[in-house]
Structure 1
Amino acid sequence: MLFMLAIISLLSDQVFLTPVQNNALFQYINDHQSEYIQRLKNWVAIESDSSDPSKRDQVQLMMEMTKDYILKMGGHVEMAEIGEQEYSPGIKLPLPPVILAQIGNDTNKPTVCFYGHMDVQPAKKEDGWKTEPYTLVEENGNLFGRGTSDDKGQILALLHGVESLKKIGLPVNVKFVIEGMEEVGSQGLEKLVEDKKNTFFSDVDYIVVTDTPWLSKKPGITYGARGNCYFYLEVEGARRDLHSGGFGGTVYEAMSDLIYLLGQLADVKGKILIPGIYDDVLPLTEQEKELYKNLEFNLDDLKADTGAKQFLHDTKEEILMYRWRYPSLSIHGIEGAFSGSGTKTVIPAKVIAKFSIRQVPNMNPSVVEKQVTDYLESKFSERKSPNKIKVTMVIGAQPWLANMNDPLYVAAQKAVKKVFNTDADMIRAGGTIPIAKSFEEILGKTVMLLGIGGPEDAPHGQNEKISKHNYIEGTKLYGSFLQEIANAWP
């Protein structure tokens, strides 16, 4: 019977995935686990730290290794040059090229484009790693090493999934956008996407980002992310720093003004006090409320992970909503203030506070900028200080929200169910994912984040890891997802 189903599938014009194909895909992946882990070991060994100019050759090497592997898979690869980076005044470094690759060009099949990156965060053993960060170590079912989760391991799982599908017949066309500068801001990438809009991206139907974790040990699909409005608040008083013994009690102190203004931004429960800031937040629907109830998330685990004794909200649903779908304001630091050891008694002449507002869909960064500026200037005017203030928004990254009923998301949910035998958690990201919004706005395509990172992978911290289970089953997930996309294609 299975044999007959396979024959019928081959004869049909419509793509139809048989149990034979599914079993063959999973079996092939199981049989090649050792090879997949060895390749991850080889890739982790490349110290592709994009923040360190002395390791730029390692980033370049990593891009070449990725290119060679895609070529070995039978793909076509363009190494797109994106110019130079001004690392410091007068010092320029070539930016690593972006890989634009394609496997398959059948106009009767859908084309799915995947994005990921090959650069990593800095890592040294003396930072607190229990293993050498650039040596893959397998322990207790986990694969430790810099880049295992962010993002080499996730990209390799994808590539292995595509390669496995090729053995039984690739049901879609696949494209890859893989860069080497994500960890330092993806310089040049947005312009490249704009420049290639009518060429490389012209036949792309869907965009999938592979650089993302799950909320829990249960598989997650990310459909939204908050934006980021980052501000500098500068207060300038005296012409120079002053001694508090000679001038304390006689001058309006810039630091006092700054602390006062920072205290006007939010209340003790985190509610932002800036008028109008919540006006454009989308109302909570009953359907969305139900979605939060079913998410797998443990507050005790979160307390243990963060060391926080109490949160601003009491329930799982409230915590996640205020983490994802409502704006938040955080104060990050003060520049110009005395922060060293000892007891220096200085009155700073100028201080700069740094804070950000994570805004949500429907909130416009330019509107937020005006609201913040007007409010702070009004509060400062009430204080009647002769000092000067300046409010500057230095980042205005847009939020992003997708339609979960899009065929792309339906296919991903079916693939999760098939591989993990559970329904996917539909989640958002509390942070900002600028590339998702850029892809959506420039290309006009549906974007989805489908990653395989675990909630405890520590992608930017010490002892980064990915579980072997996520790595291998994630390979099956990417293969199954492409099968489901083909099934849904008209």
Structure 2
Amino acid sequence: MIFLVCLIMPLLDLSESSSKPSDDEQKIFQYIDHHQDIFVQNLSDWVAVESDSIQPHLRGNITEIVKIAADSLRALGATVELRNVSAQDEPYVQNLSLPPVILAELGNDTEKPTVCFYGHLDVMPAKKEDGWKTDPYRLTEVDGKLYGRGTTDNKGPVLAWINAVRTFIALNMTLPVNIKFLLEGMEEAGSLGLEDLLKEENKIFFSNVTYIVISDNIWLSNEKPALTYGTRGNAGFFVEVECCKKDLHSGSFGGIIHEAMSDLVALLDSLVDSSGRILIPGIYEDVANITDEEMKLYAPIDFNFDEHKMNIGVKEFLYKTKDDILLNMWRNPSLSIHGIEGAFSEPGIKTVIPSKVIGKFSIRQVPNMNLPTVESQVKEHLNNVFSKRNSPNKLTVSMQVGAMPWIANVKDLQYEAARRAIKTVFQQDPDMIRDGSTIPVAKMFEDITKKSIMMFPIGAADDGEHSQNEKINRLSYINGTKVFASFLLEISKLHGASKLMTAT
């Protein structure tokens, strides 16, 4: 027994790992390099489908890309099921059908771990006239950058996973794990119908799943790879002020009534100060205390101030040190004001007093903050500010969006497997990062399946997800395919060693 444990222990040594590719990895990497133009052409074919889930009239395009992805998985030998989900009610379209969700599986060896990859096939709206330098639905390569809507969010990463599995099969190599795919087409519109499907399939499709991987975010750097272990939540609010039943002429009535816009501007101004600190009483009380172990993860992160400012197009940040920026981007709550509905926003001036205006803002909340508590704090604060204005206008505050933060255990085996794969492919250790945005599916999967979740990005910080001129670097796409293939080998080894260790 002691001898067996001595054999197993080196396999579970998580402090050091070789960065030299194994013989199998060398074959895999060579195949991927030699077939990269085919992989890029596949991405071009996917980008050409305008699978915009926001606009109802394009819903058929999502069904088209779902069928294309399903055919790609069937070509691997996977069993593929297209699951219908409940219909969606739109303001002007009743019972609009939702695209089917792909449930695919390849392999059922009970001795192997099962890795489930989640991704989405829909994209945000994009038009050339929005400021794109190229046609957003025609993949264009410039200086090694592959431009097109969905290249990094999320068609490129989805295809990189499929390409990784395809490589094993093309080389007649046994897949080291069982693999499942769950691909949807409504993520950008809130993953409509997905939660109910997960609950239905929790004891069926997910019954033998060991690890769940999501590749739907980006690195912190333009060049250095990263693994993501946490995201912030999101509480979105509407603040509605109504002063009269119809718009009024500002010359006839300005100066004699309490204007809704004046009240709203005062309310929005009371939410956050010029240093970014939220002014709502009690909002910071439930924020989880940072630990020494957590702070140690920040030290090796290579944060380039100039690169980050250039990527987002600002002159200065609110903070001067790396730790302060990262803490306030990932670890502390933030409040952003997004817009005002009901006010005139076209070019020129319209001299009317709007009868009703709606301000929109959100709070990105972090671990230990409670959504009902945040909602109560916001409403109490805004009602207090409004009462001091002595306005007769009608105030309505409502929380329209509520998504919880997510945090993972960076010591999970799949994080170690991903670190090793990254070290092999990129010859450097990844940054361990959080994401300041909200990716609700991570928390959704965790809460429903109770499985280990990991976020494994391959896109660079300057990829411009949701923005004009979205791109993925060819190198990121190809190396992403390599690193996913290497990960499957690494998780197989670590999982097997862990099972032996447990058995002893």
TM over 0.5: yes
Contact 2:442 2:453 in 1 (8 A): yes
Matches within 5 A, 1:163-202: 163-166=166-169, 167-202=172-207
Corresponding position of 1:48: 51
For residues 21 and 385 of structure 2, what CA distance do their matches in structure 1 show? 67
The AA in structure 1 aligned to 2:283 is I
Cα offsets for 1:324-348 (capped at 9, x unmatched): 1100011111122233333333222
Aligned: 1:288 with 2:301: no
Q: State which of 353, 370, 384 in structure 2 corresponds to 1:378.
A: 384
- How many angstroms apart in 2 are the aligned matches of 1:204 and 1:341? 54
Question: How big is the shift at 1:45?
Answer: 2.0
Rounded Cα–Cα distance in structure 2 between residues aligned with 1:49 and 1:256: 37
Report whether the alignment pairs 1:395 with 2:398.
no
Code of the aligned partner of 2:75: K
How far did 1:438 drift? Answer: 0.2
Question: In the TM superposition, what are the counterparts of 1:240-259 in structure 2 within 5 Å?
Answer: 240-259=246-265
TM-score (norm 2): 0.90
Partner of 2:364: 358
Structure 2 CA distance for partners of 1:308 and 1:125, relative to 1, 3 Å: closer
Change (3 A) 1:127 1:272: closer
* Counterpart code for 1:28: Y
* Aligned residue in 2 for 1:344: 350
Whether 2:298 is the aligned partner of 1:278: answer: no
User: Could you report, residue by residue, the CA deviation over 1:18-73 in whole angstroms, capped at 9, with x for unpaired residues?
Assistant: 92222222222222222212222222222222233343332222111111111111
Normalising by the residue count of structure 1, what TM-score does the alignment of the two structures yield? 0.93
1:62 aligns with 2:65: yes
Q: Structure 2 residue aligned with 1:203, among 208, 214, 229? A: 208
| Aligned positions of 1:434-473 closer than 5 A | 434-473=440-479
Secondary structure of the structure 1 residue equivalent to 2:42:
helix
Q: Distance in 1 between matches of 2:185 and 2:72?
A: 16
* Counterpart in the other structure of 2:96: 93
Counterpart residue number, 2:338: 332
Q: Which residue number in structure 1 is paired with residue 304 of structure 2?
A: 298
| One-letter code aligned to 1:367 | T
Distance 1:188 1:130, change over 3 A: same
Mapped to 1, the partners of 2:61 and 2:419 lie a distance apart of 37
Q: Once structures 1 and 2 are overlaid, which stretch shifts more, 71-80 or 39-48?
A: 39-48
Measured after TM superposition, the shift of residue 295 of structure 1 is 1.2
The aligned residue for residue 502 of structure 2 is none
Matches of 1:130 and 1:382, distance apart in 2:
50
Q: Secondary structure at the match of 2:152?
A: coil
- The yes-or-no answer on 1:235 pairing with 2:245 is no
Residue identity opposite 1:458 in structure 2: G
Q: What is the Cα deviation at residue 351 of structure 1?
A: 1.7
RMSD: 1.7
Count of matched residue pairs: 474
Q: 1:458 touches 1:465 (CA, 8 Å); kept in 2?
A: yes
Q: Is the 8 A contact 2:311 2:461 kept in 1?
A: no
**Distance in structure 2 (CA, Å) of the matches to 1:338 and 1:123:** 24
SS in 2 for 1:362: coil
Q: 1:90 to 1:154 in 2, by over 3 A?
A: closer
The equivalent of 2:489 in structure 1 is: 483
Please, which of 315, 323, 326 is the counterpart of residue 321 of structure 2? 315
Is contact 1:209–1:448 with CA below 8 Å preserved after alignment?
A: yes
Alpha carbons of 1:43 and 1:248: their partners in 2 closer, same or farther (altered >3 Å)?
Answer: closer
The 1:462/1:257 distance shift into structure 2, 3 A limit, reads closer
Q: Check 1:350–1:72 CA distance in 2 against 1; reply closer, same or farther (3 A cut).
A: same
Contact 1:25 1:168 in 2 (8 A): no
**Does residue 130 of structure 2 align to residue 127 of structure 1?**
yes
> 1:295 aligns to what SS in structure 2?
coil
Structure 2, gaps ≥5 residues long? 1-19, 500-504
More moved, 98-107 vs 126-135: 126-135
Alignment equivalent of 2:153, drawn from 140, 146, 150: 150
What is the CA–CA distance in structure 2 between the aligned matches of 1:396 and 1:101, rounded to whole Å? 30
Q: In structure 2, how many angstroms separate the alpha carbons of the residues matched to 1:111 and 1:331?
A: 42
Q: Residue 100 and residue 141 in structure 1: after superposition, are their counterparts in 2 closer, same or farther (change >3 A)?
A: same
Give yes or no for contact 1:113–1:174 (8 Å, CA) kept in 2.
Answer: yes
Letter in structure 1 aligned against 2:113: P
Unaligned runs of 5+ in 1: 1-16
Contact 2:48-2:139 within 8 A present in 1 as well:
yes
Q: For 2:277 and 2:121, how far apart are their aligned partners in 1?
A: 38
Q: After superposition, give the CA deviation of every residue in 1:149-183 in whole Å (9 maximum; x if it has no partner).
A: 11111111111112223432111111100011112
Q: Which amino acid aligns with 1:250?
A: I
Instruction: Give the CA deviation at 1:139.
Output: 2.2
Q: Which moved more, 1:67-76 or 1:298-307?
A: 298-307
Q: Provide the C-alpha distance between the structure 2 equivalents of 1:160 and 1:287, rounded to a whole number of angstroms.
A: 36
Q: CA deviation at 1:90?
A: 4.5
The residue number in structure 2 matching 1:116 is 119
Range moving further from structure 2, 227-236 or 248-257: 248-257
Deviations along 1:348-382, one digit per CA (max 9) or x if unpaired, are: 22221111100001111111000111111122222
Deviation at 1:207, TM superposition (A): 0.9
Query: Which secondary structure does the structure 1 equivalent of 2:85 belong to?
Result: coil
User: Which deviates the most, 129-138 or 438-447?
Assistant: 129-138
Specify the alignment match of 1:14 in structure 2.
none
Structure 1 residues 243, 145: closer, same or farther in 2, change over 3 A?
closer
Tell me if the contact between 1:24 and 1:168 (Cα under 8 Å) persists in the aligned partners: no
Q: Do the aligned partners of 1:270 and 1:328 also contact (CA within 8 Å) in 2?
A: yes
- Once residues 287 and 112 of structure 1 are traced to their aligned partners in structure 2, the CA distance between those partners, rounded to angstroms, is 28
Q: Is residue 223 of structure 2 the alignment partner of residue 220 of structure 1?
A: no
- 1:75 and 1:99 mapped to 2: Cα distance? 11
For each residue in 1:289-341, what CA deviation from the matched residue of structure 2 results, as whole angstroms up to 9, or x when unmatched?
23223212211122223332222111122111101110001111112223333
The 8 Å contact of residues 222 and 427 in structure 1, kept in 2 or not, is answered as yes
